[in-house]
Amino acid sequence: MARTVYVNGEYVPENEGKISIFDRGFLFADGVYEVTAVINGKLVDYDPHMERLERSLSELRMGWPCTKDELKAMHLEMMKRNALTEGIIYMQVTRGIADRQFNFPKDAKSTLIAFTQAMKLAENPNAVTGVKVISTPDIRWARRDIKTVMLLAPVLGKQAAYEQGANEAWMIEDGFVTEGTSSNAYIVKDGKVITRGLSNSILAGCTRRSLFRLAKEHGVVIEERSFTIDEAYDADEAFLTSASQFVMPIVEIDGHRIGGGQPGPVVRKLREMFLEEAGK
């Protein structure tokens, strides 16, 4: 069955969802996005995603395409029209349509599009076995705190991972792991979770934010600091977080087995806590 997608106020069959070749998202990657999970027909972490969207838009001096209430209504309508009970809603805002010029166009109206992807999130088989990760240099721009659609470096990193039989690439800058190509990165040592602190070098993950709150409630200690890939090879456990993967165990990094090649107790507990809260 063809999905219904959203394009600038209209709900249309997916093959009719079209954008101008002059859209600045297409020409300059001049746009931002959010990916929100749906579990049991409910949006997960919706408010944090919209707070981050607001920040991304404001950092790029980009206008809201509609009101916040309209945006929420659009998410709910997309779930309904696509009978989405589990999966993700992708939404993207660009600076709009104008003849090609680098500086901001004067009267362009932002473009807003959205689509859904049905996926198994809670029962993801990767969560049982754990996934493999490779490392790669972080060649992205300096404002990774803004969730832009400029994703060529993550595309290349993820492709390198897939070509080596892995699911994700951890990016390295100045000797330290920044994050995954589409996820935040964590290791566990002596029962303590270690993850890089927030700055312009990484995206402030909404799943990361929920994880911090849940960890605190359940007495799991998180230390915010940078770690090297060598430290990761030697970790007791490793995992990643993102809206589409929640808390995902990692069992191999650059061919080094982590925790005997099995998801460890801390990551299993954190994933369980997250799913419980998400209503699964």
Instruction: State in angstroms the smallest separation of the CB of 198 from ligand PDD.
Output: 11
Contact, 46 vs 75, CB < 8 A? yes
- Is there binding between residue 167 and ligand PDD (CB under 6 A)? no
Stretch that binds ligand PDD, among 229-237, 240-248, 249-257, 268-276 (CB under 6 A): 240-248
Given the complex with ligand PDD, which of 20 and 200 has the nearer CB atom?
200
Instruction: State in angstroms the smallest separation of the CB of 151 from ligand PDD.
Output: 7
Task: Give dist(CA 175, CA 66) in Å, integer.
Answer: 42
Angle between helices 206-217 and 46-59 (to 10 degrees): 130
3-state secondary structure of 150: coil
The only residue of 183, 195, 201, 226 in contact with ligand PDD, by rule CB under 6 A = 183
Residues across the chain: 280
Instruction: State in angstroms the smallest separation of the CB of 200 from ligand PDD.
Output: 12
**Which contacts (CB < 8 Å, 24+ apart) does range 272-276 have?**
273/214, 273/218, 274/207, 274/210, 274/211, 274/214, 274/246, 274/247, 275/39, 275/122, 275/246
Given the complex with ligand PDD, which of 108 and 242 has the nearer CB atom?
242
Two structure tokens written together for 238 = 């490793």
| Active site residue ranges | 147
The only residue of 30, 138, 168, 179 in contact with ligand PDD, by rule CB under 6 A = 179
Given the complex with ligand PDD, which of 4 and 182 has the nearer CB atom?
182
- Is there binding between residue 36 and ligand PDD (CB under 6 A)? no
- Is there binding between residue 247 and ligand PDD (CB under 6 A)? no
The only residue of 94, 110, 167, 184 in contact with ligand PDD, by rule CB under 6 A = 184
- Is there binding between residue 4 and ligand PDD (CB under 6 A)? no
Two structure tokens written together for 93 = 């805002």
- Is there binding between residue 214 and ligand PDD (CB under 6 A)? no
- Is there binding between residue 203 and ligand PDD (CB under 6 A)? yes
Contact, 179 vs 145, CB < 8 A? no
Q: How many CB atoms lie within 10 A of CB 77?
A: 14
Per-residue 3-state assignment (H helix, E strand, C coil) for 18-41: CCCCCEHHHHHCCEEEEEEEEECC
Instruction: State in angstroms the smallest separation of the CB of 204 from ligand PDD.
Output: 8
DSSP 228: B
Instruction: State in angstroms the smallest separation of the CB of 90 from ligand PDD.
Output: 8
Chain positions contacting ligand PDD, by CB under 6 A: 35, 179, 182-184, 203, 205-208, 241-244
